[in-house]
Structure 1
Amino acid sequence: MAAQNGNLASSDNAQDGFDSIPQEILDRLTRVDMPNVKDIPASKDTIEVAGATIPTYRCETLVLGSGAAGMRAAVELKRRQIDVLVASTGLFAGTSACSGSDKQTLYTASTDYKGDNFLKYAEGLCSGGAMNFSTAYVEAVGSIDALGGLQFMGLPLPHDDQGAILRYQTDHDEAGRATSCGPRTSKLMVKVLFDEAITLGMRILSGCSGLKIIKQSTSGEERVVGVLAAHRSEKRNPYGFIFIQCEDLVIATGGPGELYRDSVYPHHCHGGLGIALEAGVELCNLTESQFGIGTPRTTFPWNLSGTYVQVMPRVYSVDEDGNEINFLANYYRTTREMVSNTFRKGYQWPFHSTRMLDYGSSLFDLAVFLEQKAGRKVFLDFLKNPDPVNPDEQFSLEDLDSDVRDYLENNEALYDLPIDRLRRMNPLAIELYRMHGTDLCKEPLEFAMNNQHMNGGILIDDWGKTNLRGCYSVGEAAGSHGVTRPGGAALNSGQVFGKRVAVAIKRSSLNKTSAELDTSDLQDQLSVALSEAASFVGSPTGKSTNEIKTEIQARMSDRAGIICTADEVSQALSDARALRCLVQEQGITVNSPSLVGSAIRWKQMANVSEAVLTALDHYIQNGGGSRGARAICTPAGDDCPQAKTEDLSRFRFKTEQDKDKALKICIRQNGDQFEVREQSVDLSPTVEREFFEKGWGPYLIKEG
């Protein structure tokens, strides 16, 4: 039996239960072998533009991005006999394949015990605000099919002997709808979707980045006709340009991970917001992101939610002289309070302003943030229990808040050391870091406050459609998540909308009359792109991509992170606008034609940065308060976090205003200007039961 006190004990006693799982199984769930994917042959079709040869590819639907959401859309399109092409900058290199947490969560309607209530599920999804009830309901109902499809394709979700999927509680989740197949849940989703895509004979073009949406007007309405892209292996023009002609486009390129210096995204995740902005596609909720503790991007970027903190490791910082500091003792009043809120970071992982109050779990985040600002490194040590807050205390498993103690007891994890508690509850969490060079059984783990996810993105309707005809969006690129959402709801959203986009495109194809491509107009648009590309190579005036990257990331991390003030955001916006205008006037300089694609992406990131800051500045200037990602600090604020010995008066913040929950802040680029508007959210639950005979006929007509 596990030890019931805080005395240090040998890890030899922790080898039972979960720990009896064979190493082969642990390896299979962490060291995931991805399928071999064959690129389609280089196209022999070309178009001559301004003396350059640009290869052309054709498909009915182009999916940009090969993560879990994009591949679900592609598979569902292929099953519906749509000629689909997937173009991806890097297979298995985005957030779906490379990001996660201790047991990465998939949030779906619960299928265990008594089942679920879709209305309650939807209410929970949109309770944070800035999300239509109808969208939440679509995700709730669609989650059953999304889950079943993944299981059919081979996703190894755990279930009991009656077939009910095992569940647990995640952040912003009161019903315990979360499930997981380990730290690599989304990578395993990508794996089974690729396996299915290969079985279906999917056409895939890897090393291919979309750079510009090509539009033409039909009957006075702009629509997508294709995408200018850069293909890594293309040598028939110096920039690697290709043109992919399509009738419909699905943007599934993920979030703008490169916006922030302090980020848990994999490198080179630019997302699709820049290409959308340039095409006049409207975005929404750009003020809403998620920030939380994770491994620094300079090592192995990974979220430290769930069991990583629920086992209550020792938390400390190290100054420039190598001194170890129990910095949390300056914030929490007792050891019990400190370790109980460390535990709660497991299911309250994202920073939230209100959780800084009453010595809550986000006071932990603020403390880590301030240690970083002071130039100190912060660590989790799983080999030692937490240092006490007060001299007359010691850490004890008998002195925990009841929710913490009950959780550990129910999971039979009352072991003496954090590493044993972690091994008991989640050995996969240990294996994951071991495979990336850090053995938690031997050494501490450095961590930091990071940007992790953008809840905003491209404005879509309940079928994934944007304001540009023929353009759809799914996954993190789509701004469908509202202000706060349960952990793992984004994975479900991508799967649900992946199918809905396929249904919408199939339905539209039944009544579609193909418009003739205007080749003269196409040549004009491609000629402009070639001229810009040529101006970047060896430009004597333009900034380098590295200079632009450094400036954008520093500004966003330092002035648009978890702590914001009106003055700093306003100044950041002014600086971002100046950078975007400078890039517009002087271009970007690269020393090789092969780097032009990177220059175009960083030009677009300058636009995205300004768009985010424009939306955030609009929100603050119109009285917006602290919510979700950020604390809006002001001396006139309504609330102020307290700490045991630290003066936190400078972090007095304005609380969220109820009126703002009922609005989406929408933004689009119109020439050199960013236009902002507010759109009311529809929260009325108008779901009505459809009688079978009444609904069957219309369904058959829509489906053809």
Structure 2
Amino acid sequence: MNSNQPSTSAHDVIVIGSGAAGLTAALALAQDHKVLVLAKGTLTGGSTAWAQGGIAAVLDAGDTFENHIRDTMVAGAGLNRRETVEYVIERAPHAIERLMALGVPFNTEGSNADKALHLTREGGHSHRRIVHVDDATGWAVQSALLQAAQANPNITLLPGRACIDLITGRHEKRYSGSGRVWGAYALDEATGRVETHVARATVLATGGAGRVYQFSTAPRGATGDGIAMAWRAGARVSNMEMMQFHPTCLYNLEVKNFLITEAVRGEGGQLKHPVTGNRFMPEYDERLELAPRDIVARAIDDQIKRFGLDYVHLDISHQPPEFVKEHFPTIHEKLLSLGIDMTREPIPVVPAQHYTCGGVLIDLAGRTDLPGLYAAGECTESGLHGANRLASNSLLECFVFGEAAAADILDRWDAFDEPPPINPWDESRVTDSDEEVVIKQNWTEIRRFMWNYVGIVRTTKRLERAQHRIAMLNHEVEEYYSNFRVATDLIELRNLLQSAELIVSSALKRHESRGLHYTLDYPAMLAEPRDTVLVP
């Protein structure tokens, strides 16, 4: 039993996740309230720090909100909710101003007197509207937000905490079926003890479920934790079949998950067959290398399968060497260390899972179905991305919904009750595990069959095969979870398997090909776009 349960007054709000969405919410809430930020692993271990590209915002004289809205809806294959798209895009310039005020050093151009933000362009965008910090925007944003959070006396940052489950009415000393969320049980990864963290409101900002796939650009911790916890607590999830694959991940057997940003294609990079050297995008789309990600990823997948290739080439060596080094210093340096000079030769690339477009269903205030539970960022389905995320709309979503959730909590604060007494975590009937190999084996198996059966191109038969394996693994993992003390690997495996089940169930329900969900059994797109909503 856990004896060190914190007093209920210790924190007003709990934020789970320390990336762009979580820290944005925490900073806004900390004006008036005590906020606890729980992070699995390190405070910089999430996806935000990895984001190379930038943040999309209408800042150019020739651009309009309507253009950005249209580009987002076109990329999303009509599955977006228009009111969400308008809400987010109209708030983008304000989000950029706030980040500049926090000290994010966005690239500029022009002389000192009339310096303007340097805007780049990415696939699917009709205008230059991506503000960036070289090719490492996410790291600059993460650093600025973290610095501000560390300096705020109302924010407590607690790394090394793997959340196990949300605390709901079921965990109250006087049991309640209300579904009201009161915080989370979290494993202290250093001591192995489970802590009970309670608050009046909880914000999920846990990122996506990318590590459910064998090849992914997502960080190691992207195991769908928030999505799985919210689902188990009773929240609906939506559009989990919409998994975005980034077309260009470095193909290198030594280095895993190194992304070659979309902006390389935006600045003239060409996709070529590695043997013939021919450009192949003209066969697939008139927008060539600047077509939306799903089209480019399927084109590369088709080339690889059709010609039995391991990879294709991305070539920007026709641009002046100084231009390439100036625009892509991080990538240039990394590739040089691997013996590839991108100013003189092509880069070998393959598609890899990149972004979870579906997730916990939220409204414009970041509210989930469960009272007291909010969510923001990649763990959600807000209606912004639809069937395919437009490049550089992801960090933007984090800032807008992190702020929206905080604003709604502040507005409704007086309606939130004090948390009731909560039962501590009970581990009286479990022992230490004596067979860690089970976790490793199951983890590897899930990621492999998800890649092979639920990847870029799908069939009903492959999806049913995946579903059959998930059913068998569910039994194994549940038995293991019931008998042994929790460890981070076990928590992640349980969430990974739950996320895989939600992805496959959603994919089997969609009898069409739309955006990121492409199935050979239903190649046409239905006239009416419809969300896939799963109800616990």
TM-score when normalising by structure 1:
0.67
Q: Which amino acid aligns with 1:186?
A: G
- TM-score where L is the length of structure 2: 0.87
Question: Does residue 33 of structure 2 align to residue 82 of structure 1?
Answer: yes
Stretch moving more, 549-558 or 361-370: 361-370
Does 2:397 align with 1:493?
yes
- Once the two structures are superposed, residues 203-228 of structure 1 have per-residue CA deviations (whole angstroms, 9 ceiling, x without a partner) of 10011111111111798632111211
Say which SS state the counterpart of residue 617 (structure 1) adopts. helix
3-state SS in 2 of match to 1:140: helix
1:667 maps to what in 2?
534
Equivalent in 258, 280, 284 of residue 302 of structure 1: 258
CA distance in 2, matches of 1:152, 1:632: 46
Q: Does 1:116 align with 2:64?
A: yes
Matched, 1:658 2:520: no
Question: 1:141 and 1:311 mapped to 2: Cα distance?
Answer: 29
Q: State the 1:588 CA deviation.
A: 7.9
Counterpart of 1:53?
3
1:453 equivalenced with 2:322 (yes/no): no
Alpha-carbon contact 2:136-2:330 (below 8 Å) kept:
no
Q: Secondary structure at the match of 1:147?
A: helix
Distance 1:283 1:307, change over 3 A: closer
Specify the alignment match of 2:444 in structure 1.
550
Q: Which residue of 1 aligns with 2:220?
A: 267
**Contact 1:293/1:365, CA 8 A, preserved across alignment:** no
Aligned partner of 2:418 in structure 1 is 514
Aligned to 2:101: 152
Q: Which runs of 5+ in 1 are unaligned?
A: 1-48, 318-324, 356-360, 386-396, 398-412, 638-653, 670-704
Larger Rg: 1
Distance in 2, Cα, partners of 1:420 & 1:369: 35
Inter-partner Cα distance in structure 2 for 1:316 and 1:115: 35
1:174 to 1:189, Cα distance in 2 relative to 1, 3 A:
same
Matched position secondary structure for 2:94: helix
Partner of 1:125: 72
Structure 2 counterpart of 1:561, from 447, 451, 455 = 455
Amino acid of the residue matched to residue 364 of structure 1?
I
Classify the secondary structure of the residue corresponding to 2:30: helix
- CA separation in 1, counterparts of 2:212 and 2:19? 19
Task: Show the counterpart of 1:599.
Answer: 490
Q: Secondary structure at the match of 1:56?
A: coil
Map of 2:162 onto structure 1 = 209
| d(CA) in 1 for partners of 2:287, 2:125 | 16
User: What amino acid sits opposite 2:516 in the alignment?
Assistant: A
Runs of 5+ consecutive residues of structure 2 not aligned to the other structure? none
Q: 1:565-608, CA deviations, whole angstroms, 9 ceiling, x for partnerless residues?
A: 11111221122122213322454887xx5x62321221122111
Q: Which of 448, 459, 477 pairs up with 1:583?
A: 477
Partner residue, 1:479: 381
Identical amino acids, percent of aligned pairs: 19
Task: State the Cα distance separating 1:445 from its structure 2 match.
Answer: 4.4
**Contact 1:167/1:179 (CA < 8 Å) preserved in 2?**
yes
The answer to whether the aligner puts 1:462 opposite 2:338 as a matched pair is no
Letter in 1 for 2:212: L
**Compared with structure 1, are the counterparts of its residues 505 and 444 closer, same or farther at alpha carbon in structure 2 (3 Å cutoff)?**
same
SS at match of 1:263: coil
Matches within 5 A, 1:64-103: 64-79=16-31, 81-89=32-40, 90-97=42-49, 99-101=50-52
Question: Residue type of the partner of 1:656?
Answer: M
- Equivalent residues of 2:122, 2:263 under 8 A apart: no
Other-structure match for 2:185:
228
Secondary structure at the aligned position of 1:70 is classed as helix
Conserved in 2, the CA contact under 8 Å of 1:300 and 1:436?
no
Which residue of 1 is the match for residue 194 of structure 2?
241
- Aligned counterparts of 1:342 and 1:457: Cα–Cα separation in 2: 32
Letter aligned with residue 56 of structure 1:
P
| CA spacing shift, 1:142–1:435, aligned 2, 3 Å | farther
**In structure 2, what is the Cα distance between the partners aligned to 1:615 and 1:159?**
43
Deviation per CA, 1:242-273: give whole Å up to 9, x if none. 11111111111110121000111122321321
**Is residue 135–residue 329 contact of structure 2 (8 Å, CA) maintained in 1?**
no
| Counterpart position of 1:33 | none
The residue type equivalent to 2:475 in the other structure is C
What pairs with 1:311-350 in structure 2 (closer than 5 Å)? 311-312=268-269, 315=272, 325-326=275-276, 332=280, 337=282, 344-345=288-289, 347-348=290-291, 350=293
Q: Secondary structure at the match of 2:183?
A: strand
- In structure 1, how many angstroms separate the alpha carbons of the residues matched to 2:69 and 2:244? 20
Equivalenced residues, count? 517
Deviation string, structure 1 residues 53-82 (Cα, Å, up to 9, x no partner) = 344363111111111111111111112x12
Distance in 2 between the 1:135 and 1:556 partners?
30
Moved more, 121-130 or 253-262: 121-130
Tell me the residue number matched to 1:430.
Answer: 332
Indicate the residue corresponding to 1:276 in structure 2: 230
Q: Which has the higher contact order (CA 8 A, sep 6+)?
A: 2
